[in-house]
Structure formats: structure tokens, C-alpha cells
Amino acid sequence: MTEAEIAKKYTRIVKTSLGQWVQAMVVKKPMSDTPEITWKGVGRMLPVRALDENVEMARLAVLKDRRFFRLCEKCNEARPASLILDSGACQECVSESKAMA
């Protein structure tokens, strides 16, 4: 995935009357049958009239925020920190290597 695709999949924009807020996906119990997806607001709110490109930049910046995103040691792509497992690899890489074994 490109960074833009990762940002699109794992961050979202919440628009309120006060402004636009970038939120990062947080997955609870990622390896269970019933993972729970929640969203956490990151950083300061963008103005209601923020330009699309500024909103996009804010989303990409969130991918660099170590509180919410980590790099997978295997595919080297940013994933929500909750999807990076103890091995340092992301959930997708882990399930892939399991499928191959």
C-alpha cells in the first residue's frame, strides 16, 4: 500500500461544527474472532474550512505518530500500533506466514 492508501484505510476525518479532526484506528483484540475497532482523535483540530490538501497532510502526519502507528518489521509499512504484534510484524504478515506454514 502507498502511504496515502494506508492513511485512507487507517485514519478518518470527523467533521464537526468546530473543525475537522483526524482520528486514528485503534483495534482491540486484533487476533480474536471479534476485533473491536475504535477511533482516537490525534493532534489539534483543523479549521472547518481547511483545504483538502492540508487535511490530507494531517492524515499522513498521523502515520508518523509513534503513539498510534508503528512500522511493520516485515513489510515495512505503517500500521496502527495495535496491529503490530509482539514479533514486530503486522497482523497481515503474521497471518500470511501462518497460512504458509
What residues line the site for Zn ion (CB under 5 A)?
72, 74-75, 90, 93
User: At its nearest, how many Å lie between Zn ion and the CB of residue 92?
Assistant: 5
User: Of 22 and 90, which CB lies nearer to Zn ion in the complex structure?
Assistant: 90
User: At its nearest, how many Å lie between Zn ion and the CB of residue 52?
Assistant: 29
User: At its nearest, how many Å lie between Zn ion and the CB of residue 93?
Assistant: 3
User: Of 25 and 72, which CB lies nearer to Zn ion in the complex structure?
Assistant: 72
What CA–CA distance (Å, rounded) separates 5 from 91? 17
> What residues contact 10, with CB distance under 8 A and at least 6 apart?
24, 25, 63, 69, 78, 79, 80
Handedness of CA 45, 14, 60, 91 (dihedral sign): positive
User: Of 63 and 90, which CB lies nearer to Zn ion in the complex structure?
Assistant: 90
Lookup: cell for 83: 496491529
